[in-house]
Copies of this chain bind each other. A is one copy, B any other.
């Protein structure tokens, strides 16, 4: 593991990774790096990039938007004007590799369809840039490994866009879950899904998405079980319901229910869906439970806490820095202080490995062990 933490024999992640990203940096380190902002190039100007990520640079402290990469010159030019990016820092997919010569770009942030993550992450590393890549890291374990190898070889950092790790309610939930707020964790329930629209979008094409709901939204359920336990699952079983006569699901999975066993004895029951609305997790500990709903939305997280025998009560959590800005700044701080991101390439690979096992469990109608 390269994320500054380590696994003990029961598979529990130890170290700083569990805490708030900001707390990883010492005051000295921050002082050394004072004033410097890390420059980001955004690759892929879809709605997640333009509506969620780019507007958050203003709320970041260590990050600035310095370049754009797009297949649409007009869209790039309009956004560049809006964000004050010079013409020379606009790239197409053909001219992308020239980004190597742009000193304003420290990080390339890949927000492309999943099947393109590996190619652009590797090209970015070869161009000497640090890499931020959206989740899922890539459709296959093999590609994830190639991405990690490329960044390691180029001595560049690699971070996966697990924004919830920088969202205050989730950070608090991790503390409560791993800290045993109400005793050891027994059962985690994690459900994510939405009713997907436009049947022509890339998310519904296997060649671009690599998979369906599991890759896109179910990964939030899976990742939550892993960050809440701080453990790696040892066994998975899954069942799929996909209506192949629905034009949206000719190529990819709709609903998958999957269950996970963890080394500590905790288990998780999860939902991934492109037809059913879910955004929640509950952590059931020995002496009560707590829940986030919504859990991983862009905004609006709510926590309820129910000590055993008492009715559930809302618990207010101070919001702190916006999760998208927090994510950008975490990578910036890791670069400035030469630390490993808490959501490294290895972290992204682990989710992809479990997702491959989930698909195998569905395909072979059997439980799959993970080692």
Residues in B neighbouring A238, C-beta threshold 8 A: 237, 259
A126 at the interface (CB under 8 A from B): no
> Judging by beta carbons under 8 Å apart, are A255 and B189 in contact?
no
- Size of the A side of the interface (Cβ < 8 Å), in residues, is 36
* Complex CA distance for A205 and B308, rounded to whole angstroms: 26
A155 at the interface (CB under 8 A from B): no
> Judging by beta carbons under 8 Å apart, are B261 and A239 in contact?
yes
Copies held by the complex: 2
Q: Which of A253-293 contact B (CB under 8 A)?
A: 255, 257, 259, 261, 265, 267, 269-271, 273, 275-278, 284, 286, 288-289, 293
Residues in B neighbouring A187, C-beta threshold 8 A: 191, 193, 255, 257, 271, 273, 276, 278
Q: Which listed residue (B189, B277, B286, B365) contacts A308, Cβ 8 A? A: B277
A195 at the interface (CB under 8 A from B): yes
* Complex CA distance for A176 and B267, rounded to whole angstroms: 31
* Interface mask (A358-371 → B, CB under 8 Å = 1, otherwise 0): 00000001110000
Q: Which listed residue (B186, B255, B265, B267) contacts A239, Cβ 8 A? A: B267
Residues in B neighbouring A340, C-beta threshold 8 A: none
* Complex CA distance for A276 and B308, rounded to whole angstroms: 10
> Judging by beta carbons under 8 Å apart, are B269 and A257 in contact?
yes
A235 at the interface (CB under 8 A from B): yes
Residues in B neighbouring A275, C-beta threshold 8 A: 186, 286
Q: Which listed residue (B191, B265, B289) contacts A189, Cβ 8 A? A: B191
A142 at the interface (CB under 8 A from B): no
A241 at the interface (CB under 8 A from B): yes
Minimum CB distance partner of A255 in chain B: B267
> Judging by beta carbons under 8 Å apart, are B241 and A267 in contact?
yes
Residues in B neighbouring A239, C-beta threshold 8 A: 235, 237, 259, 261, 267, 367
A87 at the interface (CB under 8 A from B): no
Minimum CB distance partner of A365 in chain B: B367
| Chain A interface residues (CB < 8 Å from chain B) | 186-187, 189, 191, 193, 195, 235, 237-239, 241, 243, 255, 257, 259, 261, 265, 267, 269-271, 273, 275-278, 284, 286, 288-289, 293, 308, 312, 365-367
